[in-house]
């Protein structure tokens, strides 16, 4: 925060002399990503189209313009400026979202409204947004806070819905783009086409990308000092993706489609800095996915304006997918014996996992009365996970190396079945008040099977959970709305948390099939203010999770390693404030900003730190769009406040997550335009001051962000 005020002062000095000039009448909105520039439609929060300003939940929307201009590696890179959102993971394809201090399996990731999460991931490690090619993204909708009534398990912290682009008019349109990143030597190419011919619609695209491990700058971050730039190992990737969607209008208001998509990646890692660069003597940890292959087929049917007794709109979607990946977990550490400095232990583990998923969702909407809209349906998915493990432990420094091997599976072959039914009603109470309420019942069964290499008997766990929520928006005037939401959400423990038993990073994880589901009670209260030029949104929230699942030390050892286990913690509380706003001035100038705070606590054991993000975040941006729409420019800054309520373990970072600030400069230019093509060039200089810093969840396992980086992207649309 120490540099936030000078930066804000600079923005004011630049803007104030021009603020009195009126914008030209034909000026397009500078971006479709800001609620107050235009008012975009949103479907995720209520499962029906609703203006963001009319949505009774705290939400954020990132549109197609933002994706094109920012040219992110994945949609996660767009979240750093939004209130209440953070990013965990590093590199060009491993970044994942965090919402209000929740991450991993407490965030439900959707693509076009369908679940992407799988039950093989750990609680703090969710599915990859990189599975969806950003060149085909139309918009990203974020619900900040629980949404289990509509989406079931895992939506306990929030929902992110990546909505892909569909053909919008007769004929064919498309784009070809290229991206270069200097610090990671990244090269990327993408091509995409959209078309409609009569009743047939076509969408197809593909992307190729190659990136090396990037470098982080020298400097200080907390107690860590880097004398020179260092390589963040295993932060690159070589990946490819492709998709094909065919649709057919069976009638004027009836549409069917089929879609196939795939993603492959090689040598994608968690990232790490060699201990010799910042903490000599610490264990060396290398976590890498040398190979990942993902394929998915989706088919659906949608009928609008049905006018039957049961439904005005019906949508049925089913999918099957196969997610295969190899994971390598290598650790090396010294015993610290003075007379035998080479003495140490190397652990090399390799896991192969194949996760096959089948899912289904049927949903209907019916205007049951003049002011009552019902949404109801059923959904189901089933994961089947199977795999192999092989580990080698090599002890050196005491004569000939001593080698031990183990091929015992850490997770038995298992299935995870989730089935739920839900109903939601939207009712207008007079002209000013809208209420949205609903409930869901979900049944979940996790089951293991006889597995080669394991003597354990099969296990089975079942959970049944009911949740409900009520949200409301009151329009006090044309400019001011009051929003309130209260609800119960849940998350069932997944296969890893229940049944994983084996070596993991930092020790040995012991299975706990008796884990209870997490449940939460969340309250949001907010205020929205908007005029033609000014927008402001303020939300306060409190989310209390009961039986929260957290990893805990067992004060024991297994196979010579410290043992730990996933356990239920009685009450975890997360509360904070989120503020965002913008002011549009004349001649294409706009100032945007946000501020958010987060406080987290283990209610029954306040000495147990549960912080998983920085205590505060402030962002500000000054943007200029030329009246001719030929070019745009933006400078933005982000200031993160220090966090003391966090467990950093033995990390040499110190006792706190230190504060940091980072600045970026971006711009774009329409190079030339013909009757059929438009050429755009975007340039970004990120980490302008070359600061050494790490995002909150990347700090304890120290993985700093890239040094000053120049990114170029070129797009031809037709």
Give the per-residue pLDDT at 37.
52
User: 598-629: per-residue pLDDT in tens?
Assistant: 999 888 888 777 777 889 999 999 999 999 88
User: Could you write out the three-class secondary structure of 62-128?
Assistant: EEHHHHHHHCCCCHHHHHHHCCCEEEECCCCCCCEEEECCEEHHHEEEEECCEECCCCCCCCCCCCC
Report the DSSP beta bridge partners of residue 472.
Answer: 435, 484
User: Cα separation of 522 and 542, whole Å?
Assistant: 6
Q: Cβ distance 659 to 575 under 8 Å? A: no
User: Residue range 163-176: average pLDDT?
Assistant: 89
Report the DSSP beta bridge partners of residue 357.
Answer: 321, 383
Residue burial 256-282, b: 16+ Cβ < 10 Å; e: rest: ebebebbbebbbbbbbbbebebbbeeb
Give the per-residue pLDDT at 169.
79
> 586 falls in which pLDDT band (50, 70, 90)?
confident
Q: What are the DSSP calls for 331-390, one per residue?
A: EEEE--BTTBTT-EEEEEEEEEEEEEEEEEEEEEEEEEETTEEEEEEEEEEEEEEEEEEE
pLDDT tops 50 at residue 114: yes
Percent of the chain with pLDDT over 90: 73
User: 269-322: per-residue pLDDT in tens?
Assistant: 999 999 888 888 788 888 999 999 999 999 999 999 998 999 999 999 999 999
Dihedral of the alpha carbons of 325, 294, 75, 496, in degrees to the nearest 10: -50
User: 434-456: per-residue pLDDT in tens?
Assistant: 999 999 999 999 999 999 989 88
The bridge status of strand 414-429 relative to strand 433-448 is: antiparallel
Q: Cβ distance 692 to 220 under 8 Å? A: yes
User: Residue range 547-560: average pLDDT?
Assistant: 87
User: Residue range 23-49: average pLDDT?
Assistant: 59
The bridge status of strand 372-396 relative to strand 414-429 is: antiparallel
User: 62-94: per-residue pLDDT in tens?
Assistant: 999 999 999 899 999 999 999 999 999 999 999
Dihedral of the alpha carbons of 503, 508, 514, 515, in degrees to the nearest 10: -90
pLDDT tops 50 at residue 679: yes
pLDDT tops 70 at residue 29: no
Residue 338: is it exposed, middle or buried by C-beta count within 10 angstroms (0-12/13-18/19+)?
exposed
Percent of the chain with pLDDT over 70: 94
pLDDT tops 70 at residue 20: no
Give the per-residue pLDDT at 677.
94
Give the per-residue pLDDT at 344.
87
pLDDT tops 70 at residue 337: yes
pLDDT tops 50 at residue 28: no
User: Residue range 494-509: average pLDDT?
Assistant: 87
Dihedral of the alpha carbons of 287, 121, 125, 545, in degrees to the nearest 10: -150
SS3 609: coil
SS3 129: helix
Give the per-residue pLDDT at 6.
38
Q: What is the DSSP letter of 190?
A: E
Rg of the chain's alpha carbons, rounded to an integer? 26
Give the per-residue pLDDT at 371.
87
Residue 175 in tokens: 């784009």
Domains of the chain, start order = 4-717 (2.40.170.20)
User: Residue range 217-224: average pLDDT?
Assistant: 94
Give the per-residue pLDDT at 27.
35
Give the per-residue pLDDT at 23.
34
**Vertex 105, ends 542 and 160: CA angle to 5°?**
75
- Tell me what the pLDDT averaged over the chain comes to: 90
Question: Which run of H or E residues covers position 394?
Answer: strand 372-396
Residue 428 in tokens: 């207008």
């Amino acid at each position: 925060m120490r540099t936030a005020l000078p930066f804000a002062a600079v923005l004011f000095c630049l803007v104030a002399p021009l603020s009195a000039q009126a914008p030209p009448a034909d000026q397009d909105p500078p971006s479709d990503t800001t609620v107050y520039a235009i008012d975009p439609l949103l479907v995720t929060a209520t499962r029906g189209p609703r203006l963001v300003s009319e949505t009774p939940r705290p939400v954020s929307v990132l549109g197609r313009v933002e994706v094109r201009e920012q040219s992110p590696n994945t949609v996660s890179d767009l979240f750093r400026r939004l209130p209440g959102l953070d990013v965990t993971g590093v590199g060009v394809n491993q970044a994942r979202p965090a919402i209000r201090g929740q991450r991993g399996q407490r965030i439900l990731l959707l693509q076009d409204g369908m679940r992407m999460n799988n039950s093989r991931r750990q609680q703090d490690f969710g599915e990859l947004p990189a599975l969806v090619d950003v060149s085909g993204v139309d918009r990203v909708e974020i619900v900040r806070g629980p949404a289990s009534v509509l989406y079931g398990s895992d939506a306990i912290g929030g929902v992110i819905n990546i909505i892909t682009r569909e053909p919008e008019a007769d004929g064919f349109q498309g784009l070809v783009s290229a991206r270069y990143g200097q610090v990671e030597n990244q090269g990327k190419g993408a091509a995409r086409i959209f078309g409609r011919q009569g009743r047939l619609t076509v969408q197809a695209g593909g992307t190729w990308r190659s990136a090396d491990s990037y470098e982080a700058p020298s400097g200080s971050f907390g107690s860590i000092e880097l004398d020179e730039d260092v390589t963040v190992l295993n932060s690159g990737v070589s990946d490819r993706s492709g998709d094909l969607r065919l649709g057919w209008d069976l009638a004027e208001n009836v549409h069917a489609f089929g879609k196939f998509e795939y993603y492959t990646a090689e040598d994608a890692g968690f990232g790490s800095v060699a201990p010799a660069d910042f903490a000599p003597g610490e264990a060396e940890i290398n976590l890498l996915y040398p190979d990942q292959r993902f394929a998915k087929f989706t088919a659906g049917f949608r009928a609008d304006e049905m006018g039957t007794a049961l439904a005005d709109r019906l949508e049925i979607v089913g999918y099957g997918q196969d997610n295969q990946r190899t994971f390598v977990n290598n650790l090396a550490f010294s015993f610290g014996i003075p007379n035998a400095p080479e003495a140490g232990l190397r652990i090399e583990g390799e896991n192969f996992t194949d996760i096959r998923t089948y899912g289904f969702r049927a949903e209907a909407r019916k205007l049951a009365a003049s002011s009552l809209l019902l949404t109801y349906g059923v959904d189901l998915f089933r994961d089947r996970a199977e795999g192999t493990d092989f580990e080698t432990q090599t002890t050196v420094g005491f004569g000939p190396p001593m080698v031990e091997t183990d091929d015992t599976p850490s997770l038995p072959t298992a299935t995870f079945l989730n089935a739920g039914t839900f109903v939601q009603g939207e009712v207008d109470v007079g002209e000013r008040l809208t209420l949205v309420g609903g409930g869901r019942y979900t049944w979940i069964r996790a089951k293991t099977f006889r597995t080669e290499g394991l003597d354990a008997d099969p296990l089975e766990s079942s959970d049944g959970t009911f949740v409900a929520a009520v949200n409301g928006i009151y329009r006090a005037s044309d400019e001011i709305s009051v929003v309130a939401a209260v609800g119960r959400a849940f998350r069932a423990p997944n296969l890893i948390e229940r049944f994983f038993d084996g070596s993991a990073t930092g020790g040995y994880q012991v299975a706990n099939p008796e884990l209870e589901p997490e449940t939460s009670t969340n309250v949001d209260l907010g205020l929205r203010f908007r005029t033609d030029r000014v927008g402001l949104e303020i939300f306060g929230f409190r989310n209390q999770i009961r039986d929260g699942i957290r990893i805990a030390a067992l004060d024991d050892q297994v196979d010579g390693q410290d043992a730990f286990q996933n356990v239920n913690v009685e009450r975890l509380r997360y509360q904070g404030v989120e503020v965002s706003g913008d002011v549009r001035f004349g001649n294409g100038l706009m100032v945007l900003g946000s501020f958010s705070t987060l406080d987290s606590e283990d209610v029954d054991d306040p000495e147990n730190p549960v912080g998983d993000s920085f205590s505060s975040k402030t962002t500000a941006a000054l943007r200029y769009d030329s009246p001719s729409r030929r070019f745009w420019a933006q400078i933005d800054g982000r200031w993160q406040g220090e966090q003391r309520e966090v467990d950093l373990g033995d990390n040499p970072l110190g006792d706190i997550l230190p504060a940091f600030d980072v600045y970026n400069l971006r711009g774009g230019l329409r190079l030339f335009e013909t009757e059929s093509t438009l050429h755009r060039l975007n340039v970004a200089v990120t980490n302008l001051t070359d600061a050494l810093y790490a995002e909150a969840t990347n700090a304890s396992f120290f993985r700093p962000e890239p040094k000053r980086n120049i990114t170029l992207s070129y797009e031809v649309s037709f």
